[in-house]
Structure 1
Amino acid sequence: MTVRVRGIYATALTQLLQDAGHEVVQASGPIEDRFDGEFADERAAVTVTTTGDQQGVGVVGDSDIADTITDRLTAVGRDTLHWTDPTPEGAIYAGTVTETLGSGAVVDLGDGEGFLPYSSSDERVETDDALRVQVVEASAPWTDGRPVLDTTVAVRGSLLTLVRGGTASTPATGGPAMLDLIAADPREGWSVSWESASDDASFDALAEALDAANDRGTAIDDALDGADDPADCAPACHDEGLATAWLWFGRESRFALDEARRAVTATMPGHHRVKAGDRAASAAVDYVEALCDDLETGETDFPFAVTARQFGPQVGGSLSLGHGKPDGRLITLGSGEVQSVDDDGTVTIEREMHAGGSYDGLGVPKEAGDIAETKVKEGRWWYPTVYRDSDGEKKGTYVNVCTPVEIFPDTARYVDLHVDVVKHADGTVERVDDDELDAAVEQGHISEPLAERTRSVAAAVKSALE
């Protein structure tokens, strides 16, 4: 039940996971300072890491424990969505190179595509090559990234790395002397190197980590011994790797994480909301919290106005719509010019439309000179877009129902919940795409409580527009 936590959500997640009976290990310096008691430096069965865009976390590790942690973190809020990664970390594939780029190659894995840096292969890589690769860094589904691959098969961990194809005497940090001290050996045919975190771990912890790595190495050997040559079977999966899941936090979830963090240390309203929106804001948040021991608390105290003035968006700038989908994709709907930023969290943007096609739900043609005016409001479960022609005549209104909107400096982000409400130019109002919401619930992409909230919001919007 051991777990390692890193990133901007670390304090809140440490609190939640400890309350759930998990043992947090290899804690960072700030976490050690905030919590009473010591944290062991032993092997973590699961690692929880904030994603690069700070919108959520990845959960990677032993399947039984990783699944339990994923379920606990999904329960943080009804607008937390999660997905299982089809190309998990540590998985081993026979892949086919489909494209060569400037710094690496795109590899078809069968379950998806991966990116192999040229530096991670000892051989020259060409299009149509078949080769064995391992996922060393998985990629969140809402990003444009591909999982990163390596041709070296290994068991990679925060304390040590076990490499297939070497021997116990292979030079490595710590060297053979470390093996003598812990009275343990790597599996035959594998070499071990010690990561920097091993410096603080006990000999018993290192021996246990090596035992676990050897067990994983045994499973890999069993999967690869006698496996077909990649040229004869690619694309194919030889080993399913570690359990890998992604959680995308919504606005309500971020404020719930604030509450968990507030139980440990001073936490300003919107702590995680601000940090997720702008890296430059992190230092400002830390400074405020270091000065203030008694902060106002709660979602309604989130200082949107001062946050927007300091970091954006600002009038005259641009704001895009980060349109998340319940299956994990993220679609950018284009940027509009910011017309106004109100202290209540409302931002108005305008986009000039191009001719061609028709507007979804409205069925009217897109014409040159059309203007789309969108009003997004921080924390609201819907937002309207009004379409007008070049003369200013209204062509219709489209209301998108979504998870609570978060307005970051450059992007307003949310997850689309399928159901929408449209008001035609003649005043007719209709609700559309309920069937898509039902399908998403059936597929497990949207929970029933979130679906109930969606239907309630859609009904209220429709009533207001009629």
Structure 2
Amino acid sequence: MSKYSYRVRIRGKYATAISKLALDLGYTIVQASDVIINRFNINVNNSAPDVTIKDSERVPGALTIMGKCGAVNDVVTNLLRVVEEEALVWRSVVPLHRVVMGIVNVVDSNYFVDVGNGVKAILKAPGGAYNDGDVIPVVISRTRVYPGDELVAVPGVRVDTEYVSIVPGSGTVLFSRHIKDYEVRQALLKVGLKYVGRLSGYSIKWRSSAQFLNESEAVKEIERAINMLNEVELASKSSAPHTVLQDGECITEVMLNGRAKLLLDNVRNNVMPTIIGHHTYKTLRRNTALLDLVEALLGHCNDRAGFSAEFMRQLMSRRYRVGIVHVKPNGEVIRLGNADVLKPDPNDIVLMRRLRGGGHLDGLGLPKEEGDMAISCSAIGNEYLIHVYVDHAWRPKGIYININTPIEFTGGNILYIDLAVDVIKRWDSNEARVIDYDEYVSYVSMGVIPNRLRVRVEKLVGDLLASAHRLGEECLNKARELAE
């Protein structure tokens, strides 16, 4: 049970499962959809949320959890307890929209700013002339969640309430993209225009929760925000370096693996009939009419496991080509292209991809020539994917075994999260070897790869080193037989 009854807004494909968990943990669900209100028989509550949980816009199947830092940390802790550490987690280095007294650092005419705890951001200061060591208030305009993200700050201050933001700008009234109702926008515009002229160098932006305010509430909210702005501006004139003037919003990305999704399938099944694989099937799909129909039938079936397995077999048996979606631990999504399906069996998948010439085969250092093919073998739920590289005459060149989270089948794609470390072997070599182990260790040391996954990975590495050639031969022989 959560220590605090935070207000949680939940959106996306996991809404039913996460809502069930949230209610069980003692959270209050706000701004719920009509479906969730009816499904859980809860009261309408359009209060502003402390935290929002939604589908990630960056990584297929991941969750974005954002809001007040204490609420985000509480929700993430409790959610991960439920999914038994079957997730990779990235947290924002600095809360978004934090206002902090930063120390300017000038390097070769480029501006940076030290925002505390040894963290430096790029300082976007067009036309600004700052000296090295200047202490100025800055706003974190772009935070770093995944390693490749830029951390960016801009000079000045801003304030954010649950309903309205006052931001540096040219004196306009702006709206969250989630405020779509014309009459609501007009009413908020009317209120905003009464005040924006008094704010030299600032704009007013209505946040999504403002759509539930009446006019008098909107007026009170803007007046509260203006008072906050005056306090922050005053504090910025005398505060010490690294003083936080506004905390901002923490952002956490939770990359759920196949096992985590199955756990959430089971949570959802406690609310309504849910096929095993529900959340995987919805990962890359917008049209879920077939899934809705199948789950309506599931309600009249006593064998959920058998029904689910047959549904997967039927889906897979109708595929002649599938995509391979390779998600790296750092959030990068790589689509390896489409593969011919030689064997569409969930327990024995055999795929073939034709490679373009040029460059080298990953990890093996061998030339990639026109006519080369990649033969891939695995099974749904496997934590590794075998690739055997062959030339145009099916002569083997080498083996590359990708270590990953359990293989998922979304209905049109093979999906997994790569765990960085791999086992490779040239066909003519006597020994297999491990590559990218340092990268894997870096993710472990950062706490991104949880202990439960670490234990499985390190055992798997040892097993695969001993069996790489045998697994490669078995994969190649199956493919040859199927292709004849």
Asked if Structure 1 and Structure 2 have the same fold, meaning a TM-score greater than 0.5 normalized by the shorter chain, the answer is yes
Name the aligned partner's letter for residue 85 of structure 2: R
Q: Quote the offset at 1:215 in angstroms.
A: 8.5
What does 1:431-446 align with in structure 2 at a 5 Å threshold?
431-433=433-435, 434-446=437-449
- Aligned counterpart in structure 1 of residue 33 of structure 2, from 4, 24, 28: 28
Partner of residue 314, structure 2: 306
Name the aligned partner's letter for residue 461 of structure 2: A
CA distance in 1, matches of 2:305, 2:235: 51
- 2:123 and 2:153 in contact (8 A); partners too: no
Secondary structure of the residue aligned to 1:279 is coil
Q: Quote the offset at 1:27 in angstroms.
A: 1.2
Partner of residue 123, structure 1: none
Q: Deviations over 1:146-188 (max 9, x none)?
A: 899999986567x7324357799xx975569999xxxxx99x9
What does 1:136-285 align with in structure 2 at a 5 Å threshold?
141=146, 160-164=163-167, 174=187, 217=229, 221=233, 241-280=248-287, 282-285=288-291
Partner of residue 55, structure 1: 61
Partner of residue 180, structure 2: none
Q: Quote the offset at 1:32 in angstroms.
A: 0.6
Q: Confirm whether residue 407 of structure 1 aligns to residue 421 of structure 2.
A: no
Secondary structure of the residue aligned to 2:282 is helix
Partner of residue 331, structure 2: 328
CA distance in 2, matches of 1:113, 1:378: 47
Partner of residue 357, structure 2: 354
Q: Deviations over 1:350-399 (max 9, x none)?
A: 13242334541x34343343222223432210011111123322112111
TM-score relative to the length of structure 2:
0.69
Secondary structure of the residue aligned to 2:345 is coil
CA distance in 2, matches of 1:48, 1:415: 21
Q: Confirm whether residue 394 of structure 1 aligns to residue 399 of structure 2.
A: no
- Aligned counterpart in structure 2 of residue 15 of structure 1, from 2, 17, 20: 20
- Aligned counterpart in structure 1 of residue 456 of structure 2, from 427, 430, 453: 453
Name the aligned partner's letter for residue 76 of structure 2: T
Greater shift after overlay, 298-307 or 79-88? 298-307
Instruction: List alignment gaps of at least 5 residues for structure 2.
Output: 1-5, 103-110, 114-119, 130-136, 174-183, 471-484
- 1:327 and 1:445 in contact (8 A); partners too: no
Distance of aligned partners of 1:390 and 1:241 in 2 relative to their CA distance in 1, 3 Å threshold: same
CA distance in 1, matches of 2:166, 2:432: 60
Partner of residue 51, structure 2: 46
Name the aligned partner's letter for residue 29 of structure 2: V
Name the aligned partner's letter for residue 323 of structure 1: H
- 2:112 and 2:123 in contact (8 A); partners too: yes
Q: Quote the offset at 1:74 in angstroms.
A: 3.0
Instruction: List alignment gaps of at least 5 residues for structure 1.
Output: 95-106, 115-126, 180-184, 228-236
Name the aligned partner's letter for residue 400 of structure 1: N
Distance of aligned partners of 1:209 and 1:364 in 2 relative to their CA distance in 1, 3 Å threshold: same
CA distance in 1, matches of 2:391, 2:172: 72
Q: Deviations over 1:289-309 (max 9, x none)?
A: 345434544599343233346
CA distance in 2, matches of 1:61, 1:400: 36
CA distance in 2, matches of 1:151, 1:111: 12
TM-score relative to the length of structure 1:
0.72
CA distance in 1, matches of 2:392, 2:221: 67
Distance of aligned partners of 1:214 and 1:383 in 2 relative to their CA distance in 1, 3 Å threshold: farther
Partner of residue 99, structure 1: none
Greater shift after overlay, 341-350 or 260-269? 341-350
- 2:166 and 2:225 in contact (8 A); partners too: no
What does 1:374-393 align with in structure 2 at a 5 Å threshold?
374-393=376-395
Q: Quote the offset at 1:51 in angstroms.
A: 2.0
Name the aligned partner's letter for residue 65 of structure 2: V
Q: Quote the offset at 1:323 in angstroms.
A: 2.7
- 1:349 and 1:375 in contact (8 A); partners too: no
Q: Quote the offset at 1:449 in angstroms.
A: 1.3
Q: Quote the offset at 1:43 in angstroms.
A: 1.9
Q: Quote the offset at 1:29 in angstroms.
A: 0.6
- 2:167 and 2:205 in contact (8 A); partners too: no
Greater shift after overlay, 415-424 or 246-255? 415-424
Name the aligned partner's letter for residue 78 of structure 1: E
Q: Deviations over 1:434-459 (max 9, x none)?
A: 44433321222211211101122223
Name the aligned partner's letter for residue 43 of structure 1: A
Name the aligned partner's letter for residue 382 of structure 1: Y
Secondary structure of the residue aligned to 2:420 is strand
Q: Quote the offset at 1:192 in angstroms.
A: 7.0
Name the aligned partner's letter for residue 367 of structure 1: E
CA distance in 1, matches of 2:28, 2:223: 19
Name the aligned partner's letter for residue 407 of structure 1: F
Secondary structure of the residue aligned to 2:74 is helix
Q: Quote the offset at 1:34 in angstroms.
A: 1.0
Distance of aligned partners of 1:366 and 1:343 in 2 relative to their CA distance in 1, 3 Å threshold: closer
Name the aligned partner's letter for residue 413 of structure 1: L
Secondary structure of the residue aligned to 2:283 is helix
CA distance in 1, matches of 2:44, 2:282: 26
Distance of aligned partners of 1:217 and 1:41 in 2 relative to their CA distance in 1, 3 Å threshold: farther
Quote the RMSD (CA, aligned, Å): 4.7
Q: Quote the offset at 1:47 in angstroms.
A: 1.0
Distance of aligned partners of 1:30 and 1:221 in 2 relative to their CA distance in 1, 3 Å threshold: farther
Name the aligned partner's letter for residue 58 of structure 1: T
Distance of aligned partners of 1:268 and 1:336 in 2 relative to their CA distance in 1, 3 Å threshold: closer
- 1:59 and 1:66 in contact (8 A); partners too: yes
Q: Quote the offset at 1:201 in angstroms.
A: 6.6
Q: Deviations over 1:6-42 (max 9, x none)?
A: 1111111111122222222121111111113324221
Partner of residue 71, structure 1: 77
Name the aligned partner's letter for residue 260 of structure 1: V
Distance of aligned partners of 1:393 and 1:195 in 2 relative to their CA distance in 1, 3 Å threshold: closer
Distance of aligned partners of 1:268 and 1:16 in 2 relative to their CA distance in 1, 3 Å threshold: same
Name the aligned partner's letter for residue 51 of structure 1: S
Partner of residue 120, structure 1: none
Distance of aligned partners of 1:264 and 1:213 in 2 relative to their CA distance in 1, 3 Å threshold: farther
- 1:77 and 1:252 in contact (8 A); partners too: no
Q: Quote the offset at 1:274 in angstroms.
A: 0.8
CA distance in 1, matches of 2:42, 2:76: 25
Partner of residue 80, structure 1: 87
Name the aligned partner's letter for residue 34 of structure 2: G
CA distance in 2, matches of 1:366, 1:380: 27
Counting aligned pairs with the same residue, the percent is: 24
Name the aligned partner's letter for residue 276 of structure 1: T
CA distance in 2, matches of 1:245, 1:343: 36
